[in-house]
Structure 1
Amino acid sequence: MSTSDVTKEGIRGARPGREAMTGAVSDGHRSRESPDRGRGGGSEFRSYYDQPVLNQITWKPQDIGGYLFLGGLAGASSVLAAGADLTGRPDLARPLRYTALGAVSGSLAALIHDLGRPERFLNMLRVIKWTSPMSVGTWILVCYGPLAGAAAVSQATGILPGAGRLAGLGAGAIGPAVAAYTAPLICNTAVPAWHEGYREMPFVFVGSGAAAAGGMGMITAPVGQAGPARRAGVVGSALENAAVATMERRMGMIAEPYKQGRGGALMRAAKVLTIGGAVGALVGGRSRTVSAIAGAALVAGSACTRFGVFKAGQDSAADPKYTVVPQRQRIRDRERAAAQEGGDGGEQGAQDPAGD
């Protein structure tokens, strides 16, 4: 039985002759040409019995993509609803509270459906592990859900309006964590397109959530009270697209799944929709029709971003080069740095010999 592990730095605990062979090969046996010639050294890659280097993502795209999108929409909607309440915009706060409850309910349903059995979600509540994004995220949802529910029910029924308002403000306080925690959740994996985007992904998700919540506010609220929603849509769109561009530029070849295939198509659609929605919010905000269309574009663009990120992760996990090429580059960089340090030490010893 193999005891080696594939890590960011390479294969740990490998036993020569007993482990899966991954990397450059000189023959064509069970190999395929890397499309990254030049940057990957012009090598061909193979994996054991043509299997991917990493275990494949078993999460269901519809469930987890929906979970990512609805969680961001819920958290950002609560933040926007709390702000609308504090600034005297009840016609904006009301629909966003309903949106927050519906979105977090759908997000939890999608998560539980992917888990297979409800008790698996309940089992995660037995402990809290601060180093686990899943554990912390579960407790964030458990704290947020009842507050969002109480605020929406009180809003709909008129029962205990004071308590309902406090619940809405509490949901707004937790909302940023709800919108952002799924970013470290997916980045804390070995999936290359997710793991390497850990610096920018929280900004992508927060911006995406803000754009979606702003879009819902533009759809549901009168234009006279939808000013904060329009601003949230514009700022969220700008933040999301700037973060995605920065992430793709920094990640280099590992960002290819965000530009190619179905993942790339979804990310391009997200860019077009969110930018179009932001422009509509800026130039047509006083038109009820334009506001609704722009809001719908922002919501759709946010959904495309979450599903595009998920699909890009799937594609990067399936292709060995996104794991092997960066590992080789890191090894070469370490060897080069060690050689330079050794050379510097040798020169210093020659210039300042011991005993002088």
Structure 2
Amino acid sequence: MQKTKTPKAPAPLKKQAPGQTEAHIPSQDPKDKARQGQSSEMTEHAEDDAQGGKLDASSELTALWEKKDTEVVVSVVPTQIRGNSFTIYHSDIRTLRPHQWLTGKIIECLFHIHANKCKLGTRIYILNHYTAGVILFRKREEVRKHTLSKIQFDSYGAIVSFVNVGNIHWTFLYINAEESTMYLADPARNSAVQAESDNAAKKFSDYFKMRRTCCSKTDWVDITWKGGVMKHPVQQDGNSCGVVVCMMAKKVMEVFPKTPKMTFGTTTREMAHQRKVLALEILTASVFDKEVNCAMCAAIKPPGSVTHQTHTDWIQCDSCSRWCHTQCLQMDQKCLKEAQVGDWDCSLCTK
């Protein structure tokens, strides 16, 4: 589910923009840069990158975590729905730092990464966490707006998702059709889980019946659902519920359709390590090409571009080599000309 955030204007503008058309996509190839009229200084910078000057993922992550939040794109991760993807911004990846609360976007992105690694794209359906929350906690009138009429659940063996409780806590949801069982697992405890899972089974049973009424969908309607208990390690701090949820999902996917044994550590040190592992998975799973796509909107053409528009102004950061649409930077022609007289850094690299 790709989103475009409203970009912020950059810090003092300095550097040259390629002023290229869509036919001249930014490239690190020195010859390409020469054709685009780039300076010899930028060409030398590209050659350094080609010789292995780029930071590895771990070093890149350390640098990203040390900088203050920006809305620069750091990763684009495909979902199990063809053509859809998660656009992960710098501010998103920083929520994986120790002692930070993970966002739903980051957790859901990691679910898709794990499903892809386990080759479960056609066996486990990843239900959007907002929809899962609506089904479990909202009134029937609102649930009717989330029928997912294009989804055929009979094509899958299970659903994995997670829900937000009170805007302060994440819980893991696992629906196994082969076992006719629903698990609602709370990272903070193992008590009272049976009652909560039983309630989830009733809510989803009603949901599947509602789909039959609203859009003639009969998948999973005749299953007699029951609640189940999935024992798991308990979080030991107040902000790692999202990390534990990701670990639960990973364990489920690794052994599906078998019932997993939830064996992983939840100490402060172990959670810090897992946060780094998860963040690196997001960076390495990315299909974002900073030489082709805008670092602000993740697209080749600026948002709102008309079909026949062939000219797009770009500017490249001298520090990280990311390219940005001047339109996404809210950079007018006057600022663009001023940027041509010296070095220019994107908001991620501005000190």
Query: Fold match, TM over 0.5?
Result: no
TM-score bin, normalised by smaller chain = under 0.3
Q: Which structure is higher in strand share?
A: 2
Q: Which structure is higher in helix share?
A: 1
Larger Rg: 1
TM-score w.r.t. structure 2 length?
0.24
TM-score w.r.t. structure 1 length?
0.24
